[in-house]
Structure 1
Amino acid sequence: MKLLFLQNVYDAMGGSFMVNCSLARKFLHEGHEVFFVSLRSSGRSDLLPYPNTAKKLVINADEIWDTPLLSDALKMFKGGHLLRGMRQVKDRRHFDLSLKLDFEKCKLEIGKIDPDFIICSHYECLEAVPTAYLKKTINHYHTTFNQVEAHRTQLPFFKKYNDRVGRLLWLSDATCKRAKAAGLSNSSYIYNPINFESLEESTCMSNHALFIGRFSSEKRVDLLVKLFDETIREYKINYWELDLVGMGELSDEVKEVMQRNPHIHYLGPTADPKSAYLNSSLLLLASEYEGFALVVLEANECGVPCLAFDFGEAAKEEIIHGETGYLIVQNDVEAYKKAMAQIMIDEALRLKLGSASKEFAKQFHMSAIYQQWLELFDELKESNG
């Protein structure tokens, strides 16, 4: 079988890219042929962990994917910056026209490759799929339905393609149900797979809490650090440590707390996340929203429970409250601190949560998720005749 991953940029390290690479490695391992076709670059980095045997193609390597926003132009006009606003409108027009040319070039390249199925990671790229291949295309949307509704152009776009593509694929059952309720009847869901399996399991006795991920605004690492700092002081459990692992700049607020609290450590990015999980006893998240928080399930695979605010549609499918961790009402900081202290103080509770987490993670193993993808392919083959 020949599979093509279609994405907007070649060199952007993000959740969708990591999931695509994880799936691609499994497909390659099972003897399938894999292509990555990207419309443009991001202008940031080209040192990304693509599978070695996957074939890669960039349609337009000379221009970056950086959409000039007309809303910004409107703000410039309102602020009296007419020339800047006109330049922004001109840049947007150039972007739209040049992107249409890229779409046409991409259609030609897809025809040459002649894939059995296309997995489209960014909805805009559906415009780059030849009509003859749309029914073989799965639009794999990597965020929440809240994000669809937050952008006025997205839902009409999805409705336009609802009956034209093979499937609109979402990250969770809850998101899929919302999509269907909004009129996107051609919807289903497959969970993202855990990137590894672990024979080892955390003892949950290390007194180390962990944050792992990007230090981006929606992760609210500053709030997480603040709550950890307050919890260990208010509940007198300053024998616990917090390890921050990931990519990005620490905010001034985080640095300030770290200066006065020696129990918080910035460890930087890691190429071995499994070791970080195994050395910890509790995963902490304070995210405002998540499409699908894969770190929760990776921690579970290592026998580590998670404490998080309710981060959206997938949250209750990733954390079974009171069984594999605790899910706190968004922004209820006192309840969050109370739950954190309870887990830190009660060793028996941590062990119970950790053991249940390990068992819960099995349904997200690559072997199980891979079979669901094969079933989807078979379903599309049958419906396409």
Structure 2
Amino acid sequence: MLHAVQPGDGGVARVVVDLVRGQLAAGLRVAVACPPGTELAAAVRAEGADTYDWRAGRDPGPRLVRETRELGRLLRGVRPALVHAHSAKAGLCARLALRGRVPTVYQPHAWSFEAVEGTTAALARRWERLGARWTDRIVCVSDAERRTGEAAGVRAAWSVIHNGVDTERFAPRGGPGEEAREADVGLGPGGPLVVCVGRLCRQKGQDVLLAAWPAVRAAVPDARLVLVGDGPDAERLGAAAAADPSVRLTGAVADPAPWYRAADVVVLPSRWEGMALAPLEAMACGRPVVVGDVDGARESLPPGHEALCLVPPEDPAALAAALGRLLGGPEPRRSLGLAAREHVLSRFDVRRTGAAVAGLYRELAGVRCTEHREPIGQ
């Protein structure tokens, strides 16, 4: 089977790498078509998957016809039993190229029409409705994402399969001391640390976080903030933070896990999501999170955490208040972090996600796996 993927970085790439790893271990022959030179291309090649260069950009535009034809030629050569298209661009090109001739799974990873406005959003909704006719199953990562699609008029066969994370890789440090925890990421000891991991872009809301930060510092004067990641807004966000010595931007990092462990609180004030990976990874590391109240956010939190950990999107005052409450003392953070870790272990282990996706493949195309184990004791 073949994964068609654009973008080749960020959360989508991490989801695909985890799926590919599990599918190869289960005995499937797996191919991935994605932009060359990306994190995804290198990672899936290292896992042993067949990898094909598909030169596709993020946005639709004049290159769309060429990108669709290129993917169509690739699919005719590979002849997969099933195609799993990830995100709007791959979903558009794959479904236009295949038009139902091969069992097709589409996973939006947040709907395309949420990222735009006006006429562009209307066109995106129209395409999603039309594209559903060539889709055997739309996989949503949260019930909220499915409801958003239904409200937009997308009529399809749905499966809701929550994102999962590697709970062995993303786990509490287990070593001694707060000082050692911060030293892992090159920080010295200091005040409570807030970490935001995500692509630096409008979707993830780092601008809202920077707008909230002066109020956080007024409540907790020694608080520190680190933005982990890279993206199109890096220069603008860096300029906005340049005058505040309590704020640091790291750029892209190979492994965010040490940053989660170093944090006292992890925050992701997104404007839209399907179900963000960063909060799940942070909770797996035993850290409390503060997240924007967008698709998938409520479903990702442990029961009872909504009042403390969920804030309206684009509301700096509410975000500052939530962070101030959690930074006020270590004991609430500790109890929230312990509950968060147990919640992820019980509901969001990547092996559970892989097993659900494998079951879907069997249903649609008779794809058989030699082994795909559920998490032990869960």
Residue identity in the other structure for 1:213: G
CA distance, structure 1, for counterparts of residue 277 and residue 201 of structure 2? 16
CA distance, structure 1, for counterparts of residue 250 and residue 138 of structure 2? 38
Residue matched to 1:255: 239
CA distance, structure 2, for counterparts of residue 145 and residue 204 of structure 1? 44
Residue matched to 2:172: 200
Tell whether the 8 Å contact from 1:110 to 1:129 is kept in structure 2 after alignment.
Answer: no
Quote the offset at 1:262 in angstroms.
2.5
Do residues 377 (structure 1) and 377 (structure 2) align? no
Do residues 57 (structure 1) and 52 (structure 2) align? yes
Quote the offset at 1:131 in angstroms.
4.2
Quote the offset at 1:221 in angstroms.
2.0
CA distance, structure 2, for counterparts of residue 313 and residue 46 of structure 1? 25
Q: Identity of counterpart residues, as a percentage? A: 21
Residue matched to 1:4: 2
Quote the offset at 1:369 in angstroms.
0.8
Tell whether the 8 Å contact from 1:328 to 1:336 is kept in structure 2 after alignment.
Answer: yes
CA distance, structure 2, for counterparts of residue 255 and residue 148 of structure 1? 24
Residue matched to 2:31: 35
Structure 1 ranges of 4+ moved more than 6 A: 42-47, 202-206
Quote the offset at 1:374 in angstroms.
2.0
Residue matched to 1:313: 295
Quote the offset at 1:286 in angstroms.
2.4
Query: Quick one: structure 1 residues 168 and 204, their matched pair in 2 at CA, closer, same or farther if it must change by over 3 Å?
Result: farther
CA distance, structure 2, for counterparts of residue 352 and residue 246 of structure 1? 28
Quote the offset at 1:35 in angstroms.
0.4
Matched position secondary structure for 2:2: strand
CA distance, structure 2, for counterparts of residue 158 and residue 207 of structure 1? 44
**After superposition, where does 1:72-151 map in structure 2 within 5 Å?**
92=62, 95=63, 98-99=66-67, 101-102=69-70, 104-111=72-79, 115-121=80-86, 122-124=90-92, 125-129=94-98, 131-133=100-102, 136-144=103-111, 146-147=113-114, 151=121
Matched position secondary structure for 2:258: helix
Do residues 23 (structure 1) and 19 (structure 2) align? yes
CA distance, structure 1, for counterparts of residue 72 and residue 297 of structure 2? 39
Residue matched to 1:87: none
Query: Quick one: structure 1 residues 175 and 355, their matched pair in 2 at CA, closer, same or farther if it must change by over 3 Å?
Result: same
Matched position secondary structure for 2:234: coil
Quote the offset at 1:140 in angstroms.
1.4
Query: Quick one: structure 1 residues 286 and 129, their matched pair in 2 at CA, closer, same or farther if it must change by over 3 Å?
Result: same
CA distance, structure 2, for counterparts of residue 26 and residue 318 of structure 1? 22
Structure with the greater alpha carbon radius of gyration: 1
Question: What is the aligned residue count?
Answer: 341
CA distance, structure 1, for counterparts of residue 264 and residue 157 of structure 2? 41
Tell whether the 8 Å contact from 2:211 to 2:316 is kept in structure 1 after alignment.
Answer: no
- Aligned partner (choices 259, 269, 275) of residue 252 of structure 2: 269
CA distance, structure 2, for counterparts of residue 23 and residue 346 of structure 1? 38
Query: Quick one: structure 1 residues 100 and 214, their matched pair in 2 at CA, closer, same or farther if it must change by over 3 Å?
Result: closer
Quote the offset at 1:130 in angstroms.
6.4
Which stretch of the first structure deviates more once superposed, 170-179 or 198-207? Answer: 198-207
Matched position secondary structure for 1:361: helix
CA distance, structure 2, for counterparts of residue 104 and residue 267 of structure 1? 39
Matched position secondary structure for 1:49: helix
Quote the offset at 1:187 in angstroms.
1.4
Query: Quick one: structure 1 residues 216 and 338, their matched pair in 2 at CA, closer, same or farther if it must change by over 3 Å?
Result: same
- Aligned partner (choices 149, 152, 171) of residue 141 of structure 2: 171
**After superposition, where does 1:357-376 map in structure 2 within 5 Å?**
357-362=340-345, 363-376=347-360
- Aligned partner (choices 283, 294, 299) of residue 300 of structure 1: 283
Scaled by the length of structure 1, the TM-score of the pair is: 0.77
| Structure 2 residues not aligned, in runs of 5+ | 179-190, 368-378
Query: Quick one: structure 1 residues 149 and 159, their matched pair in 2 at CA, closer, same or farther if it must change by over 3 Å?
Result: farther
Quote the offset at 1:341 in angstroms.
1.1
Quote the offset at 1:8 in angstroms.
5.0
Scaled by the length of structure 2, the TM-score of the pair is: 0.78
Query: Quick one: structure 1 residues 108 and 201, their matched pair in 2 at CA, closer, same or farther if it must change by over 3 Å?
Result: same
| Structure 1 residues not aligned, in runs of 5+ | 70-91
Query: Quick one: structure 1 residues 228 and 155, their matched pair in 2 at CA, closer, same or farther if it must change by over 3 Å?
Result: closer
Query: Quick one: structure 1 residues 304 and 48, their matched pair in 2 at CA, closer, same or farther if it must change by over 3 Å?
Result: same
CA distance, structure 2, for counterparts of residue 297 and residue 365 of structure 1? 10
* C-alpha RMSD of the superposition: 3.2
